[in-house]
Amino acid sequence: MATYRSPLAPFFSDPFFRRFFEGIVPEERQVPIKGLGTGFVFRSDGYILTNEHVVSGADEIKVTFLDGREFEGKVIGSDTLTDIAVVKIEAQGLPTISLGDSDAARVGEWIIAIGNPYGLSHTVTVGVLSAKGRPIAAGDSGQEYENFLQTDAAINPGNSGGPLLNLEGEAIGINTAILPYAQGIGFAIPINMAKSILDQLITEGRVIRAWLGVVIQNLTPEMAEKFGLKEAEGALVADISPDSPAEKAGIKRGDVILKVDGIETPDIKTLQQTIRSHRPGDVVDVEIWRDGKVITLKVTLAELEESISVLPVTEKIDLGLEVGEITPDLVDRYALREKSGVVIVGIKAGGPADDAGLRPGDVILEVNREEIKNLKDWEAAISEIEPGETVLLLISRAGQTYFVPLKAEEPQS
C-alpha cells in the first residue's frame, strides 16, 4: 500500500469532494496543510495507481509503505475525466496487487476496501458490492462521472485511491468517493476503466480521446413523439461545436443519433462510451433520425483537445485563481454552455477567489464591466488593476450569471 501527501487537507477541503457535494454540505475554507490519500502498486518496478484528485496540484508526493519505507513519488500520467492517475517511484521487486475484471464482479458478492482513512494507515474494511453502473453528478458543474461501483464497505476521507478487492485479492475498483449525508454508501472506479487507459497514461502522460463535437441530451417520451420517433431512444443533438467533426460531416441541431458504426446509442452514456472507444482519425458511420428519415453520415473523429492554455494572474496582483481558454476538453469537463470568456481552472486555497466562493468551471464574462472573450482580453483587463483595488467579475455558473467582487492582493514572494 502507498500513502500520498498533498497540499490539501482531506475530506471536504479535498477539491474532488467539493465538486461532488457542493450544496449538500456547508462550504469549508481550504487550508494549505498536508493531505492524505491512498494508492496501490500494480507493477513491481514502482508503478502505483491512485486517484487524479489525490495528487492534483501536489508540490510533493511522499509514498509510505507498511514496513516504514518512504519514497518520493512523481506523477507520470493523470486523467481528470476518469479521476485516475499513475505515480512512479524508484524501486524494484515490489509486491503488487493484481488487476481483476470489474465487469465480472457480481452485485452482492463480498469485497474488501483498504486505505488510509483520516490518516489511519492500512485500514481494512469489508462489505458487499451494492450496485454497478452508478453515475454521480459533480455539483453545479454538471460533469458526470459514470459507471461507478457502489459498496457498503466503509470508505472514508483518505481512502481515495485505495483498492477495492474481491475475495481473490484482485483489485476490481479504485476507491473514490462517499456520500456525506448517508451511511454505508461508497463508490469506486471500475478497474476495467483504469486498465483501458493505463498504457496511454504511462507512455503519453495523458489519455488521447476521440471527439465528435456535439452537445447532446437524452430523449423523453414527449420529445420522441414530437420528433416522430416511436421510442425515446437516441441522443438528441442540442448544439454543434464550431468547426467540429460533427459540423463538417453535416450533423445538425435537432438530429437524433441512433447508431455509431452499427452500435445503438439509446442514451447519452452509450454514445459517449462508443465515441471514447475510438481513436482520433477513425471514420465512423453515424446513423441519425432527421425529419422522419434515417440518414447515415460518415464522420472523421478528431482529438479531444486536452491541452489547456492557462494564465495565472499577473505578478502585479493576486486574485487567487488561474484561468484558461474555453476548449473542447473544458467544455466536456465542466459541461460549459458559454462560447466566449475564460474558464477558472484553479483556485488558491485561502485566496480572494476562494473566499468569494468561486470554483473551477466558473466562466468569467466581464472584468470591471469590460467584456472578456478570451485570454488576451483577460490579460489586458487584469494588467490595469492595482493591489488593493476591488475587481468586479461577471461570472457564469450552470447557466446563471452573478457579479462577484474580489479584492486584489499583493503577490506573495
Q: What is the CATH number of the domain that holds 247?
A: 2.30.42.10
Residues 151 and 62 in one domain: yes
The answer to the question of residue 1 being in a domain is: yes
Residue 290 class from Cβ within 10 Å (0-12 exposed, 13-18 middle, 19+ buried)?
middle
- Residue 141, classed as helix, strand or coil, is helix
The answer to the question of residue 391 being in a domain is: yes
Residues 109 and 17 in one domain: yes
The answer to the question of residue 412 being in a domain is: no
Residues 202 and 229 in one domain: no
Residues 94 and 163 in one domain: yes
Give the residue numbers spanning the domain of 178.
1-208
Domains held by the chain: number: 3
The answer to the question of residue 338 being in a domain is: yes
Which of 110-119, 247-256, 324-333 shows the lowest mean pLDDT across its residues?
A: 324-333
- Distance, CA of 270 to CA of 244 (rounded, Å): 20
- Please, what sign has the CA dihedral across residues 9, 11, 13, 15? positive
Q: Write down the pTM of the prediction.
A: 0.63
- Distance, CA of 408 to CA of 296 (rounded, Å): 54
Residues 356-371, mean pLDDT to the nearest whole number = 92
- Could you list the active site residues? 53, 83, 160
pLDDT tens per residue, range 62-110: 999 999 999 999 999 998 888 899 999 999 999 999 999 999 999 999 9
The answer to the question of residue 413 being in a domain is: no
Strand positions, DSSP E, 154-232: 163-165, 171-178, 186-190, 210-211, 214-218
Which of 144-153, 193-202, 213-222, 357-366 shows the lowest mean pLDDT across its residues?
A: 144-153
- Per the structure block, which three cell numbers stand in for 317? 496582483
